């Protein structure tokens, strides 16, 4: 089994996060909360997604879930061992659970989510009984991700 988790650099993290930001901007243009995600395996993007719970009438259609589904279909495997998921906002508990089930090796996120961000769960010793560990790196292009979210909600409140 290949382990892709250790095959990235800071430059790679920023490059892939920029792609996730493109997905987030597209979600925002559709009226969705602007969160974007990409799944990378072997140095290439194998799944992309932007938030779409409103358009799809699906509360599970977060950017991370959309990207994981597309990556799994593309690789014809529900397990994505060692892949890296890049997402513009710290994932919620549902998305984190999906990453554990998919066996994602590494998570890289942009802006922290102090309300529902769940990465502290995987960082804790014992990790709440999880049977899979995910390496986590936060803050990659975080200010840019946060600005995008703030602008979206500011515009929404002004309507």
Q: Which one from 14, 64, 90, 144 is the annotated catalytic residue? A: 64
3-state helix, strand, coil in the chain (%, to 5): 45, 20, 35
Nearest CA among 111, 138, 110, 113 for reference residue 123: 138
Count the alpha carbons within 13 Å of 123 in the hemisphere toward its beta carbon: 8
Please report, to the nearest 10 degrees, the dihedral formed by the alpha carbons of residues 152, 18, 85, 88 taken in order.
Answer: -20
* CA separation for the pair 88, 152 (Å, rounded): 14
The residues, any chain, with a CB within 8 Å of residue 37's CB and separated by 6 or more, are 20, 23, 48, 49, 50, 63, 64, 66, 67, 85, 86, 87, 88
Is residue 14 annotated as a catalytic residue, yes or no?
no
Residues serving a catalytic function are 64
């Amino acid at each position: 089994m290949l382990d892709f988790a250790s095959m990235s650099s800071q430059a790679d993290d920023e490059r892939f996060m920029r792609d996730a930001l493109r997905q987030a901007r597209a979600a925002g243009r559709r009226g969705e909360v602007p969160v974007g995600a990409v799944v990378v395996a072997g140095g290439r993007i194998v799944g992309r997604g932007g938030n779409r719970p409103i358009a799809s009438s699906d509360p599970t259609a977060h950017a991370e879930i959309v990207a994981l589904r597309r990556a799994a279909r593309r690789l014809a495997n529900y397990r994505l061992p060692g892949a890296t998921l890049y997402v513009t906002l710290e994932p919620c508990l549902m998305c984190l659970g999906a990453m554990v089930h998919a066996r994602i090796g590494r998570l890289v996120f942009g802006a922290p989510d102090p309300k529902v961000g769940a990465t502290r769960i995987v960082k804790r010793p014992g990790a709440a009984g999880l049977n899979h560990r995910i390496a986590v790196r936060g803050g990659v292009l975080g200010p840019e991700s946060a600005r995008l979210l703030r602008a979206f909600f500011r515009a929404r409140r002004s309507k």
